[in-house]
Structure 1
């Protein structure tokens, strides 16, 4: 069961997920929302669309823009709509 961990805290855990480009995308209901803060950052992927980001705050420590989500993906990436993936030191265990 994949889970995302940062700063010793489980941020998301699920047995139902999507994998795209080597990243595990966690469904929205699997997130521990209290650790997520909306970020102003966005990026654009040619085939997935525009990604929005979250910063993580755990035990007073902040990890800016460490998670991303496609809220309105292009049709080729429809299966990851609203799913969240991680980077910047977040460990995804399987």
Structure 2
């Protein structure tokens, strides 16, 4: 049995409360189509990533964080020197995306785990995107939008966590002011 088949498959669009997610976090395969689309100010679109072979990580008080396989990435990404450490997944590496027609690159808003620890081995080298590029749309020449199936995701409050908020995800979520002590 492959590692992929050992990871449980999430239900499609089930209503979920972030307070029912586990701690330590859990990894699930997702049946949903995951996309990241760059839309230039002139309205032209570039697919950054598109897959039906993704994973999601569920952790108490957080919306799901999605991980897309390297094969789903349709544009060049450059690795940056930034690294962070997650007590559950290990050391993360970060990447830069250079939007078409823009002189402003978007750095450190995409991350991956080259050597994930424990049960997170299946997401080795998979990439996760913040739901918001973190750069002013005018300065960057556009913005990226993230989708689960055909629903554009909302942004997890704050700028530390990278969860994607969809209409089926409920409950008070960690990330915003006053939530760090939970």
TM-score (norm 1): 0.88
Alignment pair present for 1:46 and 2:87: yes
Find the residue that maps to 2:105 and give its secondary structure.
strand
Distance in 2 (alpha carbons) for counterparts of 1:71 and 1:91: 25
Q: How many residues align?
A: 93
Shift of 1:91: 2.6
RCO comparison, higher one (Cα < 8 Å, 6+): 1
Aligned to 1:71: 114
Find the residue that maps to 2:121 and give its secondary structure.
helix
Instruction: Quote the RMSD (CA, aligned, Å).
Output: 1.5
**Divergent runs of 4+, >3 A:** none
Q: List gaps (5 residues or longer) in structure 2.
A: 1-32, 40-44, 59-63, 134-143, 149-182
Shift of 1:38: 1.1
Pick the structure with greater CA Rg. Answer: 2
In structure 2, which of residues 66, 69, 72 is the aligned counterpart of residue 24 of structure 1?
66
Distance in 2 (alpha carbons) for counterparts of 1:48 and 1:66: 17
Aligned to 1:11: 48
Distance in 1 (alpha carbons) for counterparts of 2:85 and 2:145: 24
TM-score (norm 2): 0.48
Q: List gaps (5 residues or longer) in structure 1.
A: none
Distance in 1 (alpha carbons) for counterparts of 2:56 and 2:146: 12
